[in-house]
Amino acid sequence: MTTIKQFLCGATVAGMVAGTGAAVGVPSGLSALTADWLLAAEHVLLIGVDGVNLSKVLEYAYGDDSGFKTAMEQGITGASSLTNHTTLSGPSWSTVLTGVWDDKHGVFNNLFRPEPYNQWPSVFNLIEYHKPEVDTTIISNWEYLNQLAGAGGYSVDNNVFVEAGDSPADSDAQVTALTIAQILGTEDNPDDISSFLFSYQSQADHAGHSFAGGSEEYMQSIINLGANIQQILAAIAHVQTITGDDWSIILTTDHGHQQTVTLPGLSIGHGFQSPNETSTFVIFDQAGDDSQDGSQNLAYSTVDITPTILSLFGIPLRSDFDGVSLVDDPSVLNSHVTPDDLQQALLAAIAMYGYPNIGNDITLAVRTVIGSVPYFLDKFVTGIDNFLQSIVDQDIFLISGLAEIAQQINEFFGGLTVDVTNTVAHGFAYLLGAGVIAPTDAPLPGAAEFTGSLESLLAGDTFTAPDVGDLDLPLLLDVDALLG
Ligand SMILES: [Zn+2]
């Protein structure tokens, strides 16, 4: 018999050894061989849905046919927040997948750079380094995440990128089908191989950008995602009856969405600090623990997800994580509540989140504006003027203060290439607090060393820094001037 799962309490183990596996929900009639399986393989599924507002889930997809509700009923839900951190996909998924915030990993936009993950290894890197026998998989239709899973040395075992397809919904359906196939593949697992699977879907974010978070299209995307997740959870229930392996399941998003757009198809949608954008959620169902199903935790955060996954595999946590394990951290365990009405309790928790302090609000807004310019340059080339105008037109907190800066950025970046622009933006993001905290843990042995110090980036062979005198940098950093 292989290692007993760490979460099993002594009484439960004793019950299983005595053949009374029903104590942990094993279907009756399982053979002794199957009971062994229960003790053998650890399976962790992380489902990522991009840009999903929990408030909209509770409004549109809180029925028995929705996987969102099923996941909440099978686990513990936290209405978490990104307040004081950038609400863009690259930075926010990097937080989910590294266990540290953007002031450490330094990711500031959606243009992939490998360097951050050399210093701050991803959950894939940490599993593959410490327990290479775990079968790791990513199934994603956003290539950035596939690149992330392949970075940092010790890369993911199975890196599956799903093309955009005819529509975001079609692409997500394909992700769902591949995810189910991967789960069903564990039916035949004679060597008791443990697994970690990250399954990522993106249609809500597409709908939010094109039509806004308050649109019917966004509503439909939430309903679709709920149906997809329901199918994935049904697949897990199916294999569980065959193998006896329970699965730990985490369901999360990277940020929310603004409720309106001013320029359809080219709205930024998120990236700032309004409560609709900073709103996130974490739903956690720990294998073998059904005692708190359907309840709520007030301390869950997306930064906790990587530490939690590592602890489920018995892998030691880094000392410089910002997150903690949801399995056993005292501050998390002490924040558990059992509301009479989970839906209302979660809505109340969402309503408690406001804006950060004004300095952080502006600093992060400026970082998003600057960091988005090279990204949009990459995507639309000629769309920057429209993009900046859409920001100028945004009727969100303090946005008028950004109009003048946006104009300066537009002039400053004119004529530069994506790479050069992104390097400049990297410099500004650093000045605005992204990546300023260095790791205290050593890099993983043999992982490529980070060679791009800010100074070398700005003065390297391939790039000479332009004259930044044209850009009023003190204005960017001077809150009073912005408010004036
Ligand atoms: Zn996103």
CATH number for the domain including 84? Answer: 3.40.720.10
**Do 407 and 258 reside in the same domain of the chain?**
no
Q: How far is the CA of 107 from the centre of ligand 1 (A)?
A: 13
Per-residue confidence at 303, pLDDT binned at 50, 70, 90? very high
For residue 289, name the pLDDT band (cuts at 50, 70, 90). confident
The average pLDDT across 408-433 equals: 71
Distance in Å, CA 50 to ligand 1 centroid: 5
Query: 208 and 103 share a domain?
Result: yes
Q: Residue 47: beta bridge partners?
A: 199, 251
| Strand-strand pairing, 282-285 and 76-78 | antiparallel
| 26 confidence band (pLDDT: 50, 70, 90) | very low
| Contact predicate 67/201, CB 8 Å | no
Distance 89 CA to ligand 1 centre (A): 3
Q: What is the pLDDT of residue 7?
A: 27
On whether residue 84 sits in a domain, the answer given is: yes
In the chain, the number of structural domains is 2
Q: How far away, in angstroms, is 40 Cα from ligand 1 center?
A: 35
Does residue 22 fall inside a structural domain?
Answer: no
Residue 191 structural domain: 43-351
Q: How far apart are CA 425 and CA 305, in angstroms?
A: 28
Q: Is 20 contained in some domain?
A: no
Domain assignment present for 445: no
Structure pTM? Answer: 0.80
Contact 212, 218 (CB under 8 A): yes
Measure the CA angle with vertex 249, ends 243 and 252; round to 5°.
160
Residue at a domain's end among 351, 379, 413: 351
Residues 337 and 425 in one domain: no
Task: Give dist(CA 265, CA 206) in Å, integer.
Answer: 9
Cα gap 370→391, rounded to integer Å: 12
Distance 254 CA to ligand 1 centre (A): 5
- Residue-wise pLDDT tens digits, 35-89: 444 456 899 999 999 999 999 999 999 999 999 999 999 999 999 998 888 899 9
Q: Are residue 73 and residue 217 in the same domain, yes or no?
A: yes
**352-363, pLDDT tens digit by residue?**
888 788 777 778
Tell me, in angstroms, the distance from the centre of ligand 1 to residue 93's CA: 7
Confidence band of 390 (pLDDT split at 50, 70, 90): low
**Rounded to the nearest whole angstrom, what is the distance from the C-alpha of residue 85 to the centroid of ligand 1?**
13
Backbone angles phi and psi of 91, in degrees to 5: -60, -40
Q: Which conformational region is residue 10 in: left (phi greater than 0), alpha (psi within -120 to 50 degrees), or beta?
A: alpha
d(Cα 323, Cα 33) in Å, to the nearest integer?
A: 37
The reported pLDDT for the residue numbered 420 is 73
Helix (H/G/I), strand (E/B), else coil: 248: strand
Task: Flag whether 479 is in a domain.
Answer: no
Asked whether residue 16 is domain-assigned, the answer is no
Domain shared by 57 and 143, yes or no: yes
Is residue 57 one of the residues assigned to a domain? yes
Question: Is there a single domain that holds both residue 154 and residue 297?
Answer: yes
- Neighbouring CB atoms inside 10 A of 88's CB total 29
DSSP symbols for 148-188: HHH-SSS--SEEEE----SSHHHHHHHHHHHHHHHHHGGGS
Q: Are residues 167 and 295 in the same domain?
A: yes
Instruction: Evaluate whether residue 472 is within a structural domain.
Output: no
| Residues in the chain, overall count | 484
- Res 409: pLDDT: 60
Half-sphere exposure of 399 (CA within 13 A, CB side): 18
**CA gap 197, 158 in Å, rounded:** 9
Distance from residue 412's CA to the centre of ligand 1 (Å)? 27
Q: Are residues 183 and 328 both part of a single domain?
A: yes
Pair 413, 337 in one domain: no
Q: Is pLDDT above 50 for 422?
A: yes
Q: Which residues contact 140 (CB under 8 A, 6 or more apart)?
A: 146, 149, 160, 161, 162, 175, 198, 199, 200
Distances (CA, A) of 283 to 129, 294, 452: 27, 10, 37
The predicted pLDDT at position 365 comes to 78
Instruction: Give residue 400 CA to ligand 1 midpoint distance, Å.
Output: 24
Q: Could you tell me the distance, in angstroms and rounded to a whole number, from the CA of residue 255 to the centre of ligand 1?
A: 6
Cα of 330 vs centre of ligand 1, distance in Å, is 30
- CA contacts within 13 A on the Cβ side of 199: 27
Q: Could you tell me if 304 and 395 lie in one domain?
A: no
Helix-helix angle 168-184:203-211, to 10 degrees? 170
If asked whether residues 310 and 170 sit together in one domain, one would say yes
The reply to whether 169 and 280 lie within a common domain is yes
| CA 472 – ligand 1 centroid, Å | 30
Residue 390 Cα to ligand 1 middle (Å): 18
Select from 320, 351, 382 the last residue of a domain. Answer: 351
